[in-house]
Amino acid sequence: MVMDSGGSNVEQLLASDVTGDGKLDLLAWEEGSVHVLINQGSGSFGAPISYQVPFGSGRMAVVDVNVDGQPDLVVVNGYVGLVYVFLNQGFGSYGTARSIDAGVDVASVSPADLDGDGWPDLVLGYANSTKDYVSLLLNQRNGSFGDALHYRTGSMNTSLLITPDDNEGGRSDVVAANAESGNVTVLISGCQQARP
């Protein structure tokens, strides 16, 4: 089966039930646009619904940032150095994005509840050899995020592994694979101080 993904230069595909009907929908990221394809059942998908951010390479994640039961959409764009948060207004329809400063060459976004308060936070990795840190955006317990906190890692740390917070009130830890430094950094939740 061949479907229109909405773009010709798709960098990332995600499957997530953004409509809440139990059927996995598809999200396709190409430079500057997220295309959402709603699962119509019987293996067919609706026409792509597109949401724009400025042109540039990046990544996306689906996470319920305001904990209202509707999965929201988070996009990082390395060219402009911003994180865009699209709130789900119901049935997989997204409103206007809010943007958060993250620094240029931000290249990955991983949701995780790092402080164990039940509200998902965001960890950002960078495709830039001079940025030897990850950024943490803490959820302000309302779906908005505070200023980026930096934690030292090696450089080119776009590949991040988040450990599960497998107990009540548990916290996730972050493992960064530092492609340029050739090592990994383990950031244990609660044990690190943010860099100045």
In the complex, the residues that contact Ca ion under the rule CB under 5 A are 17, 19, 21, 23, 25, 39, 64, 66, 68, 70, 72, 88, 113, 115, 117, 119, 121, 139
**Structure tokens given for 69:** 């039961």
Residue nearer to Ca ion on the CB measure, 117 or 180: 117
Residue nearer to Ca ion on the CB measure, 31 or 64: 64
CB of 97 to Ca ion, least distance (A): 13
CB of 170 to Ca ion, least distance (A): 11
The amino acid at residue 138 is L
CB of 152 to Ca ion, least distance (A): 21
* Residue appearing with tokens 């409103």: 95
The amino acid at residue 104 is V
Residue nearest to Ca ion (CB): 19
Residue nearer to Ca ion on the CB measure, 105 or 113: 113
Residue nearer to Ca ion on the CB measure, 36 or 177: 36
Residue nearer to Ca ion on the CB measure, 63 or 177: 63
- Residue by residue, DSSP assigns 58-74 as EEEEEE-TT-SSS-EEE
Pairing of strands 49-52, 106-112: unpaired
CB of 171 to Ca ion, least distance (A): 8
Cβ distance 83 to 106 under 8 Å?
Answer: yes
CB of 194 to Ca ion, least distance (A): 15
Tell me 97's DSSP state: P
CA distances to 58, 64, 130, 195 from 25, in Å = 20, 15, 37, 39
Q: Return the closest-CA partner of residue 156 out of 190, 174, 119, 131.
A: 131
